[in-house]
Structure 1
Amino acid sequence: MANRLADATSPYLLQHRDNPVDWWPWCDEAFAEARRRDVPVLISVGYAACHWCHVMAHESFEDEAIAAQLNEGFVAIKVDREERPDVDAVYMTATQAMTGQGGWPMTVFATPGGDPFFCGTYFPKQQFGRLLTSVTTAWRDQRDEVVKQGAAVVEAVGGAQLVGGPTAPISAELLAAAAEGLAKEHDQTYGGFGGAPKFPPHMNLLFLLRHHERTGSAEALELARHAGEQMARGGIYDQLAGGFARYAVDAHWTVPHFEKMLYDNALLLRVYTQLWRLTGDVLARRVADETAEFLLRDLGTPAGGLASALDADTDGEEGLTYAWTPVQLTEALGAEDGEWAADLFRVTVAGTFEHGKSVLVLGRDIDAADPELVERWQDVRTRLLAARSERPQPARDDKVVAAWNGLAITALAEHGVLTGSASSRAAAISLAGVLAERHLVDGRLRRVSRDGRVGAPVGVLDDYGCVAEGFLAVHQITADPRWLRLAGGLLDVALAHFRTPSGGFYDTADDAEKLLTRPADPTDNATPSGLAAICSALVSYAALTGETAYREAADAALATVGPLIEGHPRFAGYSAMVAEAALAGPYEIAIATDDLDDPLVTEAYREAPAGTVIVAGAPELPGVPLLADRPMIDGKPTAYVCRGFVCDRPVTSPKDLLARLVR
C-alpha cells in the first residue's frame, strides 16, 4: 500500500501526500479496494486554508501509530471540499443529520458502497484512535447493524434533499418581507446579522442595496451602509494590505479567522463598489479599490486565474503574520509614530487577540481627515506593511476554481466600469479568457485547474452560473459577442442537464458521477447557491438577447425558492438579489456610440440600478442583439432604455437618460 496523493492537483490533497496514511483520492478504485479487503471506508473532507484540518492532520494523520491503525482497518479517502463540492454536500447532509451540526474537517465512516454510518468533524488524536478501534470492532462484530444504520442515513439524506416543495412567485410583497426579516436580525451596534462567529453578509447586502434602489427604502440602504462601515473598520478587514478574512470570531468584527477566501473578497468588492456608487462614501471607495488590488496582487497566479485562498495559519500559528504588540509598532515606526499608530489601530498592552497581541482595527474615521493626517496614516500603513512582509507569510491555496473566478470577473468588471479602473477592467477580461480557454472543455466546464493544468472534477451548477455571469459582465464592458455566445452555451448546458421536474435545479448534471443522492441545495452558504447564480445569468442573458425562454426558466426557478427568500432571507440573499433585478425589469440600456467615454455612457453606468444590463458600442455591431436596429440619432451617442422588454423613446442627453431611470 502507499499514499496516492502525489499527483493530485488539489493543494489540500498535496498537503497530505507525505502522511504515513495510505490515502486514496476520491475514485471508484478506492471503493473497489474496500470491497476487495472487506473493510470500511474513512472519508476525510477538508480544504487547504482550514485551521482545524491542519490540526487534525498534524495530530493524527502524521502519527505513525494512528496511520498504522487506519491502514490496517480502513481504506482512507481524502477529499478537497472545494474541488468536489458535490461529494462534500452529500456527506455534509449526512453529518448534519447524524450530529445536528457540520463543519470541517469532516470525518465520515462509510461502507464499501459509500453509505455513511458514523459521521463527525474534528477529533483529537486520542479520541480519534479510540474511534478507529470502535468502528473496526463494530464492523467485525455488528456488521448487520452497521449496514442497516448506513442505509437509514442514506434514506434520510435523500429525504433532506428532495426537490419539488412549495413555491411562491416573486413579488414586491415577498421581497419586502425578506428585507423586513433582515432588519429584525440586524445588529444595531456593530452591523451585520446575528452574533458570533460573524460572517460578512455580502449576499444579503447586495440584496438590500438593490431593494433600496427599487423601492427607495432608506432602511435597506442604512443596513448595508452600517455593516459595510463596521466591517471595513474592524479586524476582519486587513487594514494594511486590503482584503477581508473569512469571518470574525466575535460579534464586533475585531478578531478574524485569518484565512482570506477569493469568493468573500469578490462578493465584498461588489458590495463596496455599489455602496460607493450609491452614497459617494470615501471609505467604501477606498475599500473597494484596495480589495480589487488585493485580489490581483495576492491571489493572481503565474498561469492566469485567481488562487482560492490564503491560509488561516502561518507556520501553524494563527495571526502570526497579522497581529501586533505596541513594542512591535515602535520597532517598525519609531517611538512617536508607534504610539500614534497604537492609538489609531487600538493596539494595547493587554492585546485584543492572543499572547498580548492585537489585530489592527481602524479606531476612528481617517478617510475624511485633513490631508496631512491622511498622508501620515498612509505613510504609517506603508511602513507597517513593509515590516510585516518580513515576517513569515501564510501559505496560499493556488488552485483556480471556476465558480469563484466567475464571481471575481463580475466584481472586477463592475469595479472597472464604475470607477474607471483600467487594471480591474483588464483583469476581468483576462480572467474570462483563462476560464474560456482552460476550463471549458468540449462545451462543458471543469471546476479546477492548477499551474495551468485542468483538473478532472467536472463543473457543478454554481460553476455554470457564476462563470456565465462573469462572461455576461465582460460582454457588457466590451460589446464583444464572443462572451455572450459562450454564456449562452453554458446556460443551455445548465437547462439541459441540471433542471429538476419542478423547475428548480440540481447541483450536479444528469450525466455526472452518481453519488448517494443528487444534491439540490437552494440555500446560500459561503458562496451563492448554484440556483441563484444560474438565475442571475438567465435573467441577464434574456435581457441582453431578448430570448424570453431564458427569463421564463429563471422565473420558474426563483419561484421554487420564494418561500425561502420570504421566510429565511439570511440564507437566500443572492436569490433575493436576483429577484430584485427581475422584478425591476431589469432595465436594458443600449448605447449606440463611437465614443465609449461619452458622458451618456458614464451616466448610464453610474445611475442605472444594479442588475441593469448595459452595452455601449458601434451601432449594428454584429452579434450584439442589444445594439441591433438602434442607430445614433443626428450623429449623437444615443441611449435606448427598455424595461422588461418594453422600450421608451431614445435619448441623447444624460439628463434625459436619468429621467428614464427615475420611477
Structure 2
Amino acid sequence: MNRLKDATSPYLLQHAGNPVDWWEWNDEAFAEARRRDVPILLSVGYAACHWCHVMAHQSFEDVQTAQLMNSLFVNIKVDREERPDVDAVYMEATQAMTGQGGWPMTVFMTPDGHPFYCGTYFPRPQFQALLNAVHKAWTEQRDEVVGQGQQVVTALGAQRPALGGAEPPGKELLGAAVRSLAGSYDKARGGFGGAPKFPPSMALEFLLRHHARTGDDEALAMAGHTLEAMARGGMYDQLGGGFARYSVDDSWVVPHFEKMLYDNALLARVYAHWWRLTGNPFARRIALETCEWMLRDLRTEQGGLASALDADSEGVEGKFYVWTPQELKVLLGDEDGGYAVELFEVTGTFEHGTSVLQLPIDPEDLERYARVRRELLAARERRVPPARDDKVVAAWNGLAIAALAECGALLDRPDLVAAAEEVARLLERLHIKDGRLVRTSRDGIAGANAGVLEDHADVAEGLLTLHGVTGDARWVRLAGDLLDTVLERFGDGAGGFFDTADDAERLFRRPQDPTDSATPSGQFAAAGALLSYAALTGSERHREAVAGALGPVMLLAEKAARFAGWGLAVAEAYVEGPLEVAVVGARDDERTRTLHQTALMAVSPGAVVTVGEPGETDIPLLEGRGLVDGAPAAYVCRGFACRLPVTTAADLVHELRGHFVIE
C-alpha cells in the first residue's frame, strides 16, 4: 500500500494499492519534489470516472510504468470532487495548452506548482513515452520548458475579464437569451447542440421561469420537449429511476453510465417545477422516481447522500443496466418477455447484443407494466452493482435538500421532506462550524478540505428552500451565516466572487469562473441564495450583492446562454421581485396548511414562502402579519410591500396569478 491508504476519498483509496508511490496534495509532496529536483506529475480524476479506471488499469497498476513514474517524478493524486479549486486551475491550464480538457487530467508541473505540460487520458505506450520525454526535456531543456509553461500561466492571469459589477439583466436581455437557446435547440431530439448531450438542468429551469413570467410558449415547448426526451431515453434508468451523467449520442439513447448526485438533485427539482407549471403526470413520476433513487442508492448511514455510482461493474461499463432480448424472455417468459422487448425497445443493437431500456411511449396496461418493471428490477438487483463513491459533498447535498424538500412538499411526500431535514441536520452537525463549511465527509468524519463558494451557496439555497417548506427558522439563520461568509470571504471587490475564500490555500491562480458547468456556478448559486435571503429578511446588503453577482449574465445571455442558465433563472426572479408570500396561522390548523400549500404552488420565478405562528418574529417577512378575524391569513408582497391579506385558497390563487402591481 502507498501513502493513499489513509485517504478519506474513495477515489484515492482506489489507488492505494498501486505500485505508484502516490502522494496526496500537501506541502510535503511539493517539498519532496524540490528536494529531489524533479517535476510533479499531477493526476486528477474522480471515483465514477470510466476513463480514470481505464488509465489506472493500464498504467498505474503496471509495475514498469510505476517504476518510471516513481524514479522520474513526485506523483500526486487528487480527487477533483474533494479539491474543485485544484481541478479548476489546472483544467484551465490544460484547456489553454491543448484546446480540450477532461478526466483523468494529467499535468506535469514544477515543484512550485506551475504547469508546463498537460493532457488527459494516455494509453500505456504513449504514457510511458511521454514520461521519458518530459524527463528528458526537464533535464536538458528546463529553462525553455518551464518558460513556455510560465507564458501560459501569465496569459491566463492577463486575460481574466471583469466578472461582476455590471447591471443585472433586464427583461429584454432575458428574451434575447431565450432566442439564443432556440438557435442551438435540437428540434428533433430536444436539448441543445449535438453529441455528447449533457442534461441542461439550469437552462431548463430558466426556460420554465421565463414562461411563468412572460407566457412565452416557445420557452415552455423547448423545456418540455427536452425533459420528456431525456426521461424517455436510455439516459434515464427506466427500472430504478435516476439519470446517467450524459448521453454519448444526440438522441439520449446511449448513456455514459455514471449516476451523479448533483445531476439527479437538479433534475428532480426541474421536473417538479415542470409539473407545478403544467400538471403533467409524467413530470410528477420522473421527479418522484429520481428522488426515490437518490434515497435508495445514495443515502448514507449518517443521513447524507453519497456522491455517485460508478459507470462500471465487473470491469465493464454499463453491464449492470443493459439487457438482451433473450434475457428478457428467459426471465419473464415468452409473452411478457416479448412485451418488454417491444415496450423498452430492446433491439440488441447496443454493445455485445445488449440494449439499454427506453420508454418512447407510456404503456396502455399500467398494471402489466408495473409488474414487468418490478420483476426486472428485482432481477437486476441480483447482479453485481456498480461501486459507490460514498463521500458526502456539501454543495451537492445542498442541491439535494432543495430537491427533496420541494418534491416532498409539492407532490405530497412528507417522507422526502423528512429526508431533506435529515441531510440538513447532518450538514449542520458535521460540515458547518462558525458559518464556514467543510467540503466533504465520509463515514461521519469531516474531511480536511475547506468548502468553496459553491458549497456555501448551494447549502444556503437548500436550507432556505427547506425553510419555505417547513417554516423552521433555524434554517434561515444558518443560511444567513453561510451567506455572510460568502460576502466577507469570497468577494472579488468588483461585485463578483472568487471560487475560494480569501484565506484558502494559494494556488498559482485563484479560481474564478462564473459560468455553469454540470452544476450552477458558485457565483450564480450565491446570487440565487442571496436573493431569497434578502426577500425573507429585507436585507438591502444581500440584495445589492445580487446585482453585482449577476453581472456576467450580461456578457453570456446572447452568445452563450447555455453556460449561464442558473444566472438567467436567478435574473428572472430578480426581475419579478421576487414574489414574497407570508402565511400566518397555527401549524395544526388545516386552513394554515391549505394556504401554505397553495403558496408553494406559486409559479412566479423564485417566489419565496415563509410560514409561522401568529407573533413569531424570527423571520422579518412575518413581522407585523397577523390573523384576519381570527383566521389564518396569507400576505403576498414584493419588496416587503404587501397586498391586503387573504384567508382562502381561492383568493390566494388569484393573488399569485399576478393580478396586482406594487408601485
The two structures have a TM-score, normalised by structure 2, of 0.97
Q: In structure 2, what is the Cα distance between the partners aligned to 1:131 and 1:38?
A: 19
Q: What SS class does the counterpart of residue 588 from structure 1 fall into?
A: strand
The residue type equivalent to 2:310 in the other structure is: D
Q: What SS class does the counterpart of residue 616 from structure 1 fall into?
A: strand
Task: State the shift of 1:167 in Å.
Answer: 3.1
Alignment-derived partner of residue 121 in structure 2: 122
Q: Does 1:355 align with 2:347?
A: no
Counterpart contact for 1:479–1:624, Cα < 8 Å: no
Deviates more, 1:469-478 or 1:421-430: 469-478
Task: State the shift of 1:143 in Å.
Answer: 1.1
Alignment-derived partner of residue 299 in structure 2: 300
Alignment-derived partner of residue 368 in structure 2: 376
The residue type equivalent to 2:70 in the other structure is: N
Q: In structure 1, what is the Cα distance between the partners aligned to 2:271 and 2:164?
A: 35
1:494 to 486, 491, 497: 486
The residue type equivalent to 1:624 in the other structure is: I
Alignment-derived partner of residue 448 in structure 2: 456
Alignment-derived partner of residue 511 in structure 2: 519
- CA deviations 1:636-662 (Å, max 9, x no partner) are 110110013321111112222122222
Alignment-derived partner of residue 642 in structure 1: 637
Task: State the shift of 1:286 in Å.
Answer: 0.6
Q: What SS class does the counterpart of residue 42 from structure 1 fall into?
A: strand
Alignment-derived partner of residue 271 in structure 2: 272
Alignment-derived partner of residue 575 in structure 2: 583
Alignment-derived partner of residue 75 in structure 2: 76
Q: In structure 1, what is the Cα distance between the partners aligned to 2:505 and 2:161?
A: 18
Alignment-derived partner of residue 602 in structure 1: 597
The residue type equivalent to 1:587 in the other structure is: L
Q: In structure 2, what is the Cα distance between the partners aligned to 1:212 and 1:454?
A: 42
Q: Does 1:655 align with 2:650?
A: yes
Q: In structure 1, what is the Cα distance between the partners aligned to 2:590 and 2:554?
A: 40
Q: Does 1:566 align with 2:537?
A: no
Q: How does 1:46-85 map to 2 (within 5 A)?
A: 46-85=45-84
Q: In structure 2, what is the Cα distance between the partners aligned to 1:220 and 1:57?
A: 44
Counterpart contact for 1:620–1:631, Cα < 8 Å: yes
Alignment-derived partner of residue 419 in structure 1: 411
Task: State the shift of 1:610 in Å.
Answer: 4.1
Q: What SS class does the counterpart of residue 561 from structure 1 fall into?
A: helix
The residue type equivalent to 1:482 in the other structure is: R
Q: What SS class does the counterpart of residue 424 from structure 2 fall into?
A: helix
Q: Structure 1 residues 197, 352: closer, same or farther in 2, change over 3 A?
A: farther
Counterpart contact for 1:596–1:617, Cα < 8 Å: no
Q: In structure 2, what is the Cα distance between the partners aligned to 1:536 and 1:352?
A: 44
Q: What SS class does the counterpart of residue 642 from structure 1 fall into?
A: strand
Counterpart contact for 1:161–1:519, Cα < 8 Å: no
Alignment-derived partner of residue 234 in structure 1: 233
Q: Structure 1 residues 658, 556: closer, same or farther in 2, change over 3 A?
A: same
Q: How does 1:414-493 map to 2 (within 5 A)?
A: 414-493=406-485
Alignment-derived partner of residue 345 in structure 1: 344
Q: Structure 1 residues 52, 584: closer, same or farther in 2, change over 3 A?
A: same
Alignment-derived partner of residue 528 in structure 2: 536
- CA deviations 1:88-120 (Å, max 9, x no partner) are 000000000000000000000001111000000
Number of matched pairs: 655
The residue type equivalent to 2:519 in the other structure is: T
Q: In structure 2, what is the Cα distance between the partners aligned to 1:601 and 1:472?
A: 15
Q: In structure 1, what is the Cα distance between the partners aligned to 2:183 and 2:641?
A: 37
Q: In structure 2, what is the Cα distance between the partners aligned to 1:565 and 1:549?
A: 26
Alignment-derived partner of residue 628 in structure 2: 633
The residue type equivalent to 1:508 in the other structure is: T
* Structure 1 portions without partners, runs of 5+: none
The residue type equivalent to 1:627 in the other structure is: L
The residue type equivalent to 1:464 in the other structure is: H
Task: State the shift of 1:164 in Å.
Answer: 4.7
Q: In structure 1, what is the Cα distance between the partners aligned to 2:93 and 2:55?
A: 21
Deviates more, 1:301-310 or 1:165-174: 165-174
What percent of counterpart residues are identical?
A: 61
Q: In structure 2, what is the Cα distance between the partners aligned to 1:125 and 1:559?
A: 45
Calculate the aligned-residue CA RMSD, in Å: 1.2
Q: In structure 2, what is the Cα distance between the partners aligned to 1:496 and 1:287?
A: 39
Q: In structure 2, what is the Cα distance between the partners aligned to 1:560 and 1:237?
A: 32
Task: State the shift of 1:159 in Å.
Answer: 2.9
Task: State the shift of 1:49 in Å.
Answer: 0.3
Q: What SS class does the counterpart of residue 497 from structure 2 fall into?
A: coil
Q: In structure 1, what is the Cα distance between the partners aligned to 2:86 and 2:232?
A: 37
Counterpart contact for 1:168–1:563, Cα < 8 Å: no
The residue type equivalent to 1:496 in the other structure is: E
The residue type equivalent to 1:362 in the other structure is: L
Alignment-derived partner of residue 252 in structure 2: 253
Task: State the shift of 1:166 in Å.
Answer: 8.3
Q: What SS class does the counterpart of residue 546 from structure 2 fall into?
A: helix
Counterpart contact for 1:167–1:563, Cα < 8 Å: no
Q: In structure 1, what is the Cα distance between the partners aligned to 2:338 and 2:220?
A: 37
- CA deviations 1:290-321 (Å, max 9, x no partner) are 00100111100112210000001112101111
The residue type equivalent to 2:652 in the other structure is: L
- CA deviations 1:464-513 (Å, max 9, x no partner) are 10000111112222222211111111111110110112100000011100
Counterpart contact for 2:431–2:446, Cα < 8 Å: yes
Deviates more, 1:29-38 or 1:553-562: 553-562
2:611 to 585, 604, 616: 616
Counterpart contact for 2:305–2:397, Cα < 8 Å: yes
Deviates more, 1:554-563 or 1:328-337: 554-563
Q: In structure 1, what is the Cα distance between the partners aligned to 2:156 and 2:65?
A: 30
Q: Structure 1 residues 377, 637: closer, same or farther in 2, change over 3 A?
A: same
Q: In structure 2, what is the Cα distance between the partners aligned to 1:527 and 1:600?
A: 33
Alignment-derived partner of residue 311 in structure 1: 310
Alignment-derived partner of residue 661 in structure 2: none
Q: Structure 1 residues 203, 597: closer, same or farther in 2, change over 3 A?
A: farther
The residue type equivalent to 1:181 in the other structure is: S
Alignment-derived partner of residue 221 in structure 1: 220
Q: What SS class does the counterpart of residue 252 from structure 1 fall into?
A: coil
The residue type equivalent to 1:363 in the other structure is: P
Counterpart contact for 2:298–2:306, Cα < 8 Å: yes
Q: What SS class does the counterpart of residue 322 from structure 2 fall into?
A: coil
Task: State the shift of 1:131 in Å.
Answer: 0.2
Q: Structure 1 residues 160, 446: closer, same or farther in 2, change over 3 A?
A: farther
Q: In structure 1, what is the Cα distance between the partners aligned to 2:120 and 2:273?
A: 38
Alignment-derived partner of residue 104 in structure 1: 103
Q: Does 1:16 align with 2:15?
A: yes
Q: In structure 2, what is the Cα distance between the partners aligned to 1:339 and 1:659?
A: 51
Q: What SS class does the counterpart of residue 650 from structure 1 fall into?
A: coil
The two structures have a TM-score, normalised by structure 1, of 0.97
Q: In structure 2, what is the Cα distance between the partners aligned to 1:275 and 1:610?
A: 12
Q: Structure 1 residues 596, 221: closer, same or farther in 2, change over 3 A?
A: farther
Q: In structure 1, what is the Cα distance between the partners aligned to 2:164 and 2:75?
A: 37
The residue type equivalent to 1:577 in the other structure is: A
Counterpart contact for 1:412–1:427, Cα < 8 Å: yes
